[in-house]
Amino acid sequence: MSDVETGTITTKVPARLDRLPWSRWHWMIVIGLGTVWILDGLEVTIVGNLSARLATPGSGLDITQAQVAGTAAALYVAGACSGALFFGWLTDRFGRKKLFIITLVVYLVATLLTALSFSAWWFFLFRFITGFGIGGEYAAINSAIDELIPSRHRGRIDIIINGSYWLGAAGGALLTVPLLNDLPVNIGWRVAFGLGVVLGLAILLVRRNVPESPRWLFIHGRDREAEQLVDDVERQIGRDDLPEPDKAMTIHQRKSIGFVRIAHTMVALYPKRTVLGLSLFIGQAFLYNAITFGYAQILSTFFGIDTYTGYYFAVIALGNFFGPLLLGHLFDTIGRIPMISATYIGSGVLLLGTAWLFNEGALTAVTLTACWSVVLFVASAGASSAYLTVSEIFPMETRAMAIAFFFAIGTAAGGIAGPLVFSSLVESGVPGDTALAFTIGALIMIAGGLVELFLGVKAERKGLEDIAAPLSAAETTKAV
């Protein structure tokens, strides 16, 4: 039964985790969990760059480029939204580790079956299921990462990990070039999806060694297991000079937290934070969908580039990755509010400038790609910070569900409507229509940055329990 107290304990586990020095153990967490974003980047980019090829006669699918960039993309995002909500609820109820294994298996099976597609409906179905698995990954992985990484590193690590999506995007973009040009039209795209399965299997092998979140364990009545896990980590690190934690928490343990209480917490207890999370997610979803889902379609429609789009996409993908890599530490030093608002507003203004230049016919495929690289260098750090924000500003018991909720609502607004609207605007072949797509994404991104200025939370270098006390907490006391 939900919300039934099973015991009361006092624990130093959160303080012990936060005072750990960076170690090989933390790198194992980053590699085992963070690499999922590489998979997502690989997935989205492969489909985007294969859109023209999939629509070519002889590909094995009776499908149009607009259906790939529009319908299939929207179904993938719809699956991700559904999966985030479903698996997010399960993650808070049954633990982080069980779910980040299950969701990866769902992704692997669905991607393999996508590679075996023989008709448009089969392709659409397994794009949806692939997204279902990836959406579940977002909830399970982000919650686990933030609960295992020390607070002084949390902002930088979370933002860089989310930005690693673009390493997968760059790799997927470059892989599509030889696959499209050196293999038969009905084989190359299948091999591209198969490579995602190979990478996913490698990640699964590493992920088996990632532990359950000790924070989740002690709240759900498994405090001895949580203490043992932290003891083992401290022994692995081998540091005898670790300072004694100065805080202890008293927790009323529960097997699970009821959904009604989770919803009440987000809407009634933290209404401003709820508005903030929605604004950040909707803003980044619209900006990215104004550019990335229709990227290959824009190059094909306006510049006649069909099979070498991967080279262009690899350039903007690297720009996206270097943004979080080079700017990520500033979110821990300068602070969340100034950096999030600056990246959101700055990228929106830059995209407005790109829209104007495109509408004036002043851009080529190369200069348009250069403009996008600059826009997304700034935007990527901001988009990554949206995931960081919603994973740290709500209580631990609601963390995975909060991530899932904001991802689902924000991405549904920008990620389902976006591809459908933007692909039709691009398909018209009128520069002004495509410029309008850019403008819509830019203005909504700027709006998100303005909301951050007024409602942002100063979470830098703070423990998760100091930002939002667990619902199960009785008190936070100085250790004796």
DSSP string for 91-106: HHHH-HHHHHHHHHHH
- Mean pLDDT score, 276-294: 81
Structure confidence at residue 287 (pLDDT): 79
The mean pLDDT value of the chain amounts to 84
User: Which long-range contacts (C-beta less than 8 Å, at least 24 apart) are formed by 387-390?
Assistant: 387/138, 387/142, 387/158, 387/162, 388/146, 388/154, 388/155, 388/158, 388/159, 388/162, 388/331, 388/336, 389/276, 389/277, 389/280, 389/336, 389/340, 389/457, 389/459, 390/277, 390/280, 390/281
> For residue range 53-100, what is the model confidence (pLDDT) as tens digits?
787 888 888 888 778 877 887 788 889 889 988 998 888 888 888 888
Q: 290 falls in which pLDDT band (50, 70, 90)?
A: low
Structure confidence at residue 31 (pLDDT): 84
The one-letter code for the residue type at 219 is I
Structure confidence at residue 239 (pLDDT): 67
**pLDDT for residue 306 is more than 70:** no
> For residue range 250-269, what is the model confidence (pLDDT) as tens digits?
887 776 666 677 777 777 88
CB neighbour list of residue 310: distance below 8 Å, 6 or more residues apart: 49, 172, 173, 174, 175, 176, 177, 180
Structure confidence at residue 350 (pLDDT): 96
Q: 162 falls in which pLDDT band (50, 70, 90)?
A: confident
Structure confidence at residue 454 (pLDDT): 96
**Residue 247 backbone dihedrals phi, psi, to 5 degrees:** -130, 145
> For residue range 458-473, what is the model confidence (pLDDT) as tens digits?
999 898 988 998 887 7
pTM score: 0.82
> For residue range 132-151, what is the model confidence (pLDDT) as tens digits?
998 888 788 888 888 999 99
Joined tokens for residue 362: 């002043």
Q: 476 falls in which pLDDT band (50, 70, 90)?
A: very low
Separation between Cα atoms, residue 139 and residue 83, nearest integer Å: 9
**Per-residue exposure over 408-430, b if at least 16 CB sit within 10 Å of its own CB, e if not:** bbbbbbbbbebbbbbbebbbeee
Among 421, 422, 382, 389, residue whose Cα is nearest residue 406: 389
Terminal Cα-to-Cα distance of the chain (whole angstroms) = 34
Give the 3-state secondary structure of residue 184: coil
- Mean pLDDT score, 18-29: 89
**Residue 64 backbone dihedrals phi, psi, to 5 degrees:** -100, 165
User: Residue 128 in contact with residue 76, Cβ under 8 Å?
Assistant: yes
Structure confidence at residue 415 (pLDDT): 64
> For residue range 323-365, what is the model confidence (pLDDT) as tens digits?
999 999 999 999 999 999 999 999 999 999 999 999 998 988 8
Structure confidence at residue 246 (pLDDT): 75
Q: 293 falls in which pLDDT band (50, 70, 90)?
A: low
